[in-house]
């Protein structure tokens, strides 16, 4: 791997980090309620690296947080949830998903303009 490849990887990592920091981080309960995905599915997704997560101190010990926009996008792509009655994503999760997508498009546009 040469220097330019490393810089490109670093830029991509910074862009992803900026996008995730702009997303609302919520507990697994909130993410499950707002996206229709089960808590078990959320655990599976973050353990498999399909969605990011982080631990933070909560009132009863460590609490797992996930970015709502990323969870909503993953739930939208889930074949199990696609035709399910639970598939109803609430308005807040839809808004967060749209904000996340706009941020992604703005980052891509900025990269293209460079």
Query: pTM, whole model, 2 decimals?
Result: 0.57
Domain that holds residue 83: 3-113
Split into its structural domains, the chain has a count of: 1
Which tens digits make up the pLDDT trace of 38-74? 999 999 999 999 999 999 988 888 999 999 989 988 8
Which tens digits make up the pLDDT trace of 69-93? 899 888 888 777 654 434 456 677 7
Q: Which of 85, 90, 16, 76 is nearest to 41 (CA)?
A: 76
Torsion sign (Cα): 56, 57, 61, 67: negative
């Amino acid at each position: 791997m040469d220097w330019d490849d490393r810089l490109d990887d670093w830029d991509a990592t910074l862009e992803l980090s900026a996008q995730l920091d702009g997303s609302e981080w919520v507990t697994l309960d909130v993410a499950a309620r707002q996206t229709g995905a089960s808590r078990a599915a959320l655990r599976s997704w973050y353990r498999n690296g399909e969605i990011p997560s982080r631990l933070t101190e909560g009132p009863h010990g460590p609490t797992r947080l996930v970015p709502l926009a990323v969870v909503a996008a993953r739930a939208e792509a889930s074949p199990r949830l696609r035709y399910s009655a639970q598939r109803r994503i609430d308005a807040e999760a839809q808004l967060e998903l749209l904000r996340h997508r706009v941020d992604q498009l703005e980052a891509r546009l900025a990269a293209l303009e460079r």
